[in-house]
Amino acid sequence: MSDGKNADELTQLADEALRGEPGCETARVAGVSALPHVQIGRNWEIPNVVLGDSLISDVDRAVMSVHRRLGRKFHLRGD
């Protein structure tokens, strides 16, 4: 069972997790978005990331990992 979070809470969690990934210390999650027509489970995505000095290859890998990991624990509430 996953915990519900609002967009700001999920953005903060994703941002902290991304910065903890190797090579992504200067990257930043700009926000998360709801996936249309998905009601349960991983109902959100990370559409925009600011790279900073990080390499796009590192950030791409890290975003997929962070989304997979956090998506198991948290869903986006509709409020």
Per-residue pLDDT reduced to its tens digit, 24-37: 999 999 999 999 88
Quick one: how many helices (H) and strands (E) in the chain? 2, 4
pLDDT at 1 over 60: no
pLDDT of residue 7: 95
Query: Mind listing the pLDDT tens digit for each residue in 4-26?
Result: 999 999 999 999 999 999 999 99
The domain tally of the chain equals 1
pLDDT band at 42 (very low <50, low <70, confident <90, very high): confident
Burial 43-65 (b: 16+ CB within 10 A, else e): bbebeebeeeebeeebbeebbee
pLDDT (average), residues 44-67 = 96
Segments forming the whole domain that contains residue 36? 3-76
CA 3 – CA 50 distance, rounded (Å): 26
> Which amino acid, 18?
L
